[in-house]
Structure 1
C-alpha cells in the first residue's frame, strides 16, 4: 500500500466506505460506475439474476490504474477493495479477484502485475473458463492466454478439475458483489 494512502487513513480514520462505483471485469479491466450506470443494473450478473448488467466506463488512465492496483486488497469477509486514501472503495467482480496472465517465461502473473507463485490447483467451469489457485489467491486465466494454458494442460503441468461457476466465491473465499450486501 502506498505511504500516502497510509498517511491519509491515519489522518481521516472515519471516512465512509464506497460501494458499487468500481468494477473489475473478466479481462482485468477496471470500470467506473456512476449513479446512472448503477441504476441500470449490477456490474455483473450473478447466478439467478435476470436483466442486463451495466459495466460503466472503462478506465484508461495508466497512472490511475497503477494506483488502484498497488492499493488493491481484500478484507476479512473476502470483499475486495481499492484503498483510495482514507476511503475504502469496494470492487464488483465479474469473475474473480485476480485475472491471470501467462507470459512466455512460465510464470503466472495477476492483472495487477504481481507474480502469483506456484499453481496449487487448476479448475475448469461449465463454460470452459480456466481458473488457477495460487498462494496469491484464486483467479481466472485471461482469454488471450488460453492457448498457453492449453499447452500447459496438454504437457501435464496442470490437471483441470471441474467446478461450477456458482461455487467459485466459496472456493476462493471472495464476495463477487460487496454492493449487494452494503449497509443502508
Structure 2
C-alpha cells in the first residue's frame, strides 16, 4: 500500500534556486540575510543538508529548492583539536590533504577529504606554534612572516616549513591566486544569466 501511495504522489514542483539569502562566515556561523542564525533546529537542518554541485557552488538542499551559500572564507570552517585533528563547523571530523595555504592576511586554507576548508582564525596561533623548519625546530616569526608575505615563494632556496608533515605554502596575492581558485570552489554563487 505504501508503494502505491508513493507512486500516486505528484513530482516535486519546479522551484527556482535561491541566491543571496544564506551565508557562512569565517568562523562557521550560518547567517540569513546577514543575521546570525541561533536556532539549534535550523542550524542542524542546514548542517545536515549542506552539499555542493559540480561547479563548486556550495548549497543547502531545502526540499526541491537549492539555496546557494555565500562563503566568507571557504566551504568548511575547521577547528583544530588538541590532538592535531580537524573538525568542521558541522561537527564532522576531516583529514587534511596536501599543503596548507597561508595568505598575506594570515588566513589558512587547505584541502580536506570533505572538500575545501579554512582554519578558524581562533586556532591559527595554536597551529603555527607547531610549524617546523627544515631542521625540525620550531619555525621562527621571521620564517612565518616571509611565508605570509610571499617572499619565501620567490626564493627557491628558502626553507620549507611544515606542520605535521604537510608543507606550508604561500597563497601569494601577487599571483592573483585566491583560495577559491586554488581549491576549486565558488565563494559567492550567482544566478546563471539567461
Q: Shift in Å at residue 88 of structure 1? A: 0.5
* Partner SS state of residue 121, structure 1: strand
Residue 90 (structure 2) pairs with residue 112 (structure 1): yes
What are the Cα deviations for residues 49-98 of structure 1, in whole angstroms up to 9, with x where unaligned?
xxxxxxx1110011111110111011011110001111110000111111
Q: Shift in Å at residue 182 of structure 1? A: 4.0
Residue 52 (structure 2) pairs with residue 74 (structure 1): yes
* Partner SS state of residue 181, structure 2: helix
CA distance in structure 2 between the partners assigned to 1:100 and 1:150 by the alignment: 15
RMSD: 1.9
User: Counterparts of 1:1-184 in structure 2 under 5 Å?
Assistant: 11-33=11-33, 56-154=34-132, 156=162, 157=164, 158-164=166-172, 166-179=177-190, 181-183=191-193
Comparing 73-82 with 145-154, which one deviates more in the overlay?
Answer: 145-154
**Bigger strand fraction:** 2
Max Rg structure = 2
Q: Shift in Å at residue 103 of structure 1? A: 1.4
Conserved? CA contact 1:120–1:135, under 8 Å: no
Conserved? CA contact 1:22–1:32, under 8 Å: yes
Q: Shift in Å at residue 13 of structure 1? A: 4.9
Conserved? CA contact 2:98–2:167, under 8 Å: no
CA distance in structure 2 between the partners assigned to 1:139 and 1:74 by the alignment: 13
Comparing 144-153 with 61-70, which one deviates more in the overlay?
Answer: 144-153
Q: How many pairs were matched up?
A: 152
Comparing 160-169 with 81-90, which one deviates more in the overlay?
Answer: 160-169
Taking structure 2 as the reference length, what is the TM-score of the superposition? 0.71
Q: Shift in Å at residue 173 of structure 1? A: 1.0
CA distance in structure 1 between the partners assigned to 2:25 and 2:96 by the alignment: 24
CA distance in structure 2 between the partners assigned to 1:24 and 1:105 by the alignment: 26
Q: Which runs of 5+ in 1 are unaligned?
A: 1-9, 34-55
Q: Which runs of 5+ in 2 are unaligned?
A: 1-9, 133-137, 139-161
* Partner SS state of residue 81, structure 1: strand
